[in-house]
């Protein structure tokens, strides 16, 4: 397998854009990525597209930027769709079949509700009424289980949201850019205890793109190629009882272990992390799943500032999904954009730029059925 580098990244501002189509959002992100590395579509040899609705969305996006007859594959893998598309582009280049690949993720959720269910007749859906097996309810239950097992408090979960909203103020591409106090987060409208409104990611529109090429070609396009040190996709192990708290932890931790092994680094080597904080409870659990701390230590550590800029390892300096937004299939590629900017020293403001960052990790969990972990290095 050849070494592969990220040479260009592009991302729209995340938000709600009723005037823009999904294809336009994807096209805007691709043009941004091409400009970033001085390429044109003629340089792209293969492309992978995640999300946005119809099966052939990728081909529609290519029409926005100039169809060139290249292979285009459409990817669906829940919240991990974008990061899975990035992984496929990585494998295509690493294998030697192609020298330059493109990954693009797009989504247009608007105010349709989580995963679009708001457009359905929810009064006819018992799960929608009870709320047990929709994502806010599921991640609330995971948080409550963590409270029961380790003594984690609602205030500690809320501190996650306070942290992420604070950093979003400095990210011009973030959906929301408002800082909140701990009291404001705790007193916001309750969605599913212990997660209040400000502890839940918004539904968002947006697009993100990344251009990858073999390392031997990378310096033709950038003076700071970002090496893809590991790319892992994991799914759950079989459990006859179905998936629960332990199964989710096992999948994510296994993906992290494989990624650290491939990259030849450990969690102690990380300079920053972008992880899947669809809810505040999720971020805290993933501190432990990704070995950033031991089981049960996440609550105390976030409260002590371990995951702030200047702490043990900064997490979600983009504002995370909680503020930046979660256009589902764009999320994984947007993480790659943020990690690349951070490693290049291009995060725009000192309030969220990690000084001299060399090693960065991106993590996305696709529901409870897939998990991707990427480690990027200079």
Which residue numbers are catalytic? 79, 326
Q: Is 145 exposed, middle or buried (CB count within 10 Å of its CB: 0-12, 13-18, 19+)?
A: middle
CA separation for the pair 212, 191 (Å, rounded): 40
What is the SS3 assignment for 279? strand
Which of 60, 50, 52 is closest to 89 using CA atoms?
Answer: 50
Angle at 79 between CA 60 and CA 119, to 5 degrees: 75
Q: Encoding tokens for residue 344?
A: 């290049």
> In whole angstroms, what is the distance from residue 102 CA to residue 92 CA?
10
Contact (CB, 8 A) for 322 and 161: yes
Give me the phi and psi of 234, to 5 degrees please: -125, 150
Phi, psi of 215 (to 5 degrees): -60, -35
181: number of Cβ within 10 Å: 12
CA separation for the pair 101, 322 (Å, rounded): 30
Q: Decide: residue 349, CB within 10 A, 0-12 exposed, 13-18 middle, 19+ buried.
A: exposed
Q: For residues 324 and 169, give the distance between their C-alpha atoms in angstroms, rounded to a whole number.
A: 10
């Amino acid at each position: 397998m050849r070494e592969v580098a990220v040479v260009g990244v592009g991302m729209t501002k995340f938000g709600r854009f009723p005037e823009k189509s999904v294809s336009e959002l994807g096209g805007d992100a691709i043009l941004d990525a091409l400009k970033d590395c001085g390429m044109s579509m003629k340089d792209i040899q293969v492309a992978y597209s995640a999300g946005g609705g119809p099966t052939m969305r990728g081909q529609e996006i290519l029409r926005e930027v100039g169809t060139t007859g290249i292979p285009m594959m459409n990817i669906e893998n829940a919240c991990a769709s974008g990061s899975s598309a990035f992984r496929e582009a990585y494998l295509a280049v690493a294998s030697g079949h192609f020298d330059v690949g493109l990954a693009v993720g797009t989504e247009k959720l608007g105010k349709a509700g989580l995963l679009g269910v708001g457009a359905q007749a929810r009064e006819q859906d018992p799960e929608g009424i009870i709320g047990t097996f929709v994502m806010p309810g599921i991640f609330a239950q995971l948080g409550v289980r963590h409270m029961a097992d380790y003594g984690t408090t609602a205030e500690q979960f809320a501190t996650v949201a306070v942290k992420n909203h604070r950093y979003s103020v400095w990210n011009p591409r973030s959906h929301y850019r408002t800082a909140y106090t701990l009291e404001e987060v705790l007193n916001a409208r309750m969605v599913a205890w212990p997660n209040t409104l400000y502890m839940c990611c918004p539904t968002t529109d947006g697009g993100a793109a990344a251009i990858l090429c073999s390392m031997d070609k990378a310096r033709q396009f950038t003076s700071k190629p970002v090496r893809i040190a590991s790319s892992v996709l994991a799914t759950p192990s079989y459990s006859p009882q179905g998936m629960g708290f332990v199964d989710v932890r096992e999948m994510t931790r296994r993906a992290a272990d494989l990624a650290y092994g491939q990259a030849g680094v450990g969690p102690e080597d990380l300079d920053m992390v972008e992880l899947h904080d669809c809810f505040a409870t999720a971020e805290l659990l993933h501190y432990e799943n990704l070995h950033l701390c031991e089981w049960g230590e996440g609550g105390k550590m976030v409260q002590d500032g371990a995951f702030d800029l200047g702490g043990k390892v900064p997490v979600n300096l983009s504002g995370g999904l909680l503020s930046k937004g979660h256009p589902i299939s764009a999320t994984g590629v947007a993480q790659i954009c943020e990690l690349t900017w951070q490693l290049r020293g291009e995060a725009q403001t000192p309030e969220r730029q990690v000084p001299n960052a060399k090693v960065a990790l991106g993590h996305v969990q696709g529901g409870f059925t897939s998990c991707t972990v990427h480690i990027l290095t200079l």
